[in-house]
């Protein structure tokens, strides 16, 4: 983990050196509590290699898991397998069912909710005064959006938040793997996941008996093709939304404020014509920050990529963060430029079956939240250095002081 504790610029310089080597480099797998240390992996750091592997899901499989190191098999038995860890046809079936959650119709329905939440967040910032952008703004929006998507009743939300805090506390864990504190946090993490499963299972059963006009009802009752989620699959989907849609969007918001503070000329450019430029600004924030650092694939058969002969069973890690700074694709890649066009970043994953399902929802959240913030607090800026999460997966900011004094 020492590498991930280093300043972000140093890590990016190391990734640039790996890219220049022109061949995938092999690394040992980090040790994680209760997870058997697996085989090492090859790092894919060039944009072309990441795109090629993402496209070729028949060879670059997401099973048994797309994370590195992979969760122990007993966990999947208890909690079910999220679709991000599946290949087609199992993956395609789930993706077909849950895509309803992200249809333009569903997003239009949720837009007013996001606007209302963003306004409430800014009201609260004004009432309390600015302190930590992560806690007061970035952490609040995505979780509220996911809860309202899933129809989690208002009164159950503080409970959901407390369960998510228990999960997040573990994901930011530092120190000895076998320490009593680490084990306590791990236990808390597993309990929190089980509690959330129980909550949505109750919701799912209720909606199966009495369907309402909401997403959970649509997911647990059959679509025109006769497909529906089982209650266990609904639990896994909720976990996936929380893991995939919560910290990612929260970190994109925090990185966004940091980048627009560090690059005042880009901020001026954005605010001079917000509606015309926010789309490009969001893509550039995602490219530059890469809120998800990497996902993994496992080779199903022998295959050559980037001049390297891989063997069946080899693991590769797709470093989206490194591919997003590849000078072969992005001119002057370390320049933050909200007008960059084209901007074929892989911050939402590479082209292929697992491309982020929530990308348009995330874009909508960022657009509405920054519009509300800059519209009402034009002096908004980060006012100190960010504190970073120690993680090889989430490019996370845990604290970001801010101000909106002119």
CB of 24 to ligand HEM, least distance (A): 17
Pick from 66, 260, 278, 321: which binds ligand HEM (CB under 6 A)?
66
Contacting range for ligand HEM; rule: CB under 6 A; set: 172-180, 299-307, 350-358, 373-381 = 350-358
Residue count of the chain: 406
Q: Return all residues near 271 (Cβ < 8 A) that are at least 6 apart.
A: 374, 378
Give whichever of 69 and 245 is closer to ligand HEM, judged by the CB atom: 245
Q: How far is CA 187 from CA 184, 191, 215, 391, in A?
A: 5, 6, 31, 19
Single residue of 125, 362, 377, 389 touching ligand HEM by CB under 6 A: 362
Min CB(352)–ligand HEM separation in Å: 8
Residue 352 φ/ψ region, left for φ over 0, alpha for ψ in the -120 to 50 degree band, beta for the rest: left
Task: Work out which of 130, 256, 358, 396 binds ligand HEM, going by CB under 6 A.
Answer: 358
Q: Which is nearer to ligand HEM, 18 or 98 (CB)?
A: 98
Q: For ligand HEM, which is the closer residue by CB, 95 or 131?
A: 95
CB of 187 to ligand HEM, least distance (A): 27
d(CA 133, CA 128): 12
Judged by phi (left if over 0) then psi (alpha if -120 to 50, else beta), residue 398 lies in: alpha
CB of 305 to ligand HEM, least distance (A): 16
Question: Contacting ligand HEM (CB under 6 A), which of 53, 134, 139, 146?
Answer: 146
Among 260, 361, 382, 389, binds ligand HEM (CB under 6 A): 361
Residue of 241, 321, 368, 389 interacting with ligand HEM (CB under 6 A): 241
User: By C-alpha distance, which of 318, 298, 301 is closest to 309?
Assistant: 301
Q: Which of residues 265-294 bind ligand HEM (CB under 6 A)?
A: 286, 291-292
- Work out whether 84 is an interface residue with ligand HEM (CB under 6 A): yes
Q: If binding means CB under 6 A, how many residues of this protein chain bind ligand HEM?
A: 28
Residue number with CB closer to ligand HEM (121 or 185)? 121
Residue closer to ligand HEM, measured from CB, 166 or 244: 244
Stretch that binds ligand HEM, among 126-134, 213-221, 273-281, 342-350 (CB under 6 A): 342-350
Compare residues 41 and 320 and give the one whose CB is closer to ligand HEM: 320
* Interface with ligand HEM, residue 348, by CB under 6 A: yes
Sign of CA dihedral 54, 58, 60, 63: positive
Q: How far apart are CA 300 and CA 314, in angstroms?
A: 8
Window 309-328: contact mask with ligand HEM (x via CB under 6 A): -----------x--------
C-beta closer to ligand HEM: residue 185 or 219: 219
Q: How many angstroms separate the CA atoms of 22 and 46, rounded?
A: 8
Each as own residue / partner, the long-range contacts of residues 202-209 (CB below 8 Å, 24 or more positions apart, any chain) are: 203/150, 203/151, 203/152, 203/234, 204/229, 204/231, 204/234, 204/235, 205/231, 207/151
The string over 76-107, giving b where at least 16 C-beta atoms fall within 10 Å of a residue's C-beta and e elsewhere, is beebbbbbbbbbeeebebbbebbeebbeeebb
Binding string, residues 88-127; x marks residues near ligand HEM by CB under 6 A: -------x--------------------------------
In the complex, minimum distance from the CB of residue 393 to ligand HEM, in angstroms, rounded to a whole number: 10
Structure tokens at 222: 């059959």
Task: Please report whether residue 396 would count as binding ligand HEM according to CB under 6 A.
Answer: no
Q: How far apart are CA 326 and CA 303, in angstroms?
A: 23
Answer for which of 18, 200, 244, 400 binds ligand HEM (CB under 6 A) is 244
Site for ligand HEM (CB under 6 A): which residue of 349, 370, 377, 397?
A: 349
Which residue bears the tokens 């980090």?
30
70 beta partners: none
Measured CA distances, 275 to 227, 285, 380 (Å): 39, 16, 18
Contact call for residues 32 and 177 (beta carbons, < 8 A): yes
- Residues in contact with ligand HEM by CB under 6 A are 62, 66, 83-84, 95, 146, 240-241, 244-245, 248-249, 252, 286, 291-292, 295, 320, 347-349, 353-354, 356-358, 361-362
């Amino acid at each position: 983990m020492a590498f991930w504790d280093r300043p972000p610029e140093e890590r990016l310089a190391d990734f640039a050196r790996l890219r220049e080597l022109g061949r995938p480099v092999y690394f040992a797998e980090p040790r994680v509590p209760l997870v058997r240390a697996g085989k090492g992996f090859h790092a894919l750091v060039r944009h072309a290699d990441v795109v090629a592997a993402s496209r070729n899901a028949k060879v670059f499989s997401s099973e048994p898991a797309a994370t590195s190191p992979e969760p122990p098999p007993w966990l999947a038995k208890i909690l079910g397998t999220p679709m991000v860890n599946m290949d087609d046809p199992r993956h395609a079936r789930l993706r077909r069912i849950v895509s309803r959650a992200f249809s333009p119709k569903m997003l239009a329905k949720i837009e007013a909710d996001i606007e209302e939440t963003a306004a409430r967040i800014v009201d609260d910032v004004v009432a309390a005064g600015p302190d930590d952008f992560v806690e007061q703004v970035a952490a609040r929006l995505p979780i509220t959006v996911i809860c309202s998507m899933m129809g989690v009743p208002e009164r159950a939300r503080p409970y959901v938040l407390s369960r998510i805090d228990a999960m997040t506390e573990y994901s930011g864990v530092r120190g000895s793997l076998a320490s009593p504190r680490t084990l306590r946090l791990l236990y808390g993490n597993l309990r929190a996941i089980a509690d959330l499963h129980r909550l949505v299972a109750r919701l799912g059963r209720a909606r199966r008996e009495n369907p309402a006009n909401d997403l959970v009802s649509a997911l647990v009752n059959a679509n025109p093709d006769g497909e529906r989620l089982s209650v266990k699959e609904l639990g896994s989907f909720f976990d996936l939304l929380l893991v995939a849609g919560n910290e990612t969007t929260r970190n994109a918001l925090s990185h966004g404020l940091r980048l627009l503070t560090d690059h005042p000329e880009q901020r001026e450019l954005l605010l001079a014509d917000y509606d015309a430029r926010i789309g490009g600004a969001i893509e550039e924030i995602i490219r530059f920050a890469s809120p998800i650092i990497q996902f993994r694939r496992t080779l199903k058969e022998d295959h050559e990529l980037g001049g390297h002969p891989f063997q069946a069973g080899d693991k590769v890690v797709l470093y989206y963060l490194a591919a997003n700074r590849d000078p072969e694709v992005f001119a002057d890649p370390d320049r933050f430029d909200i007008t960059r066009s084209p901007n074929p970043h892989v911050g939402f994953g590479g082209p292929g079956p697992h491309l982020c399902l929530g990308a348009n929802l995330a874009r909508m959240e960022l657009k509405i939240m920054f519009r509300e913030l800059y519209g009402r607090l034009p002096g908004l800026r980060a006012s100190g250095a960010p504190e970073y999460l120690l993680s090889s997966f989430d490019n996370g900011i845990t604290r970001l002081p801010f101000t909106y004094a002119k």
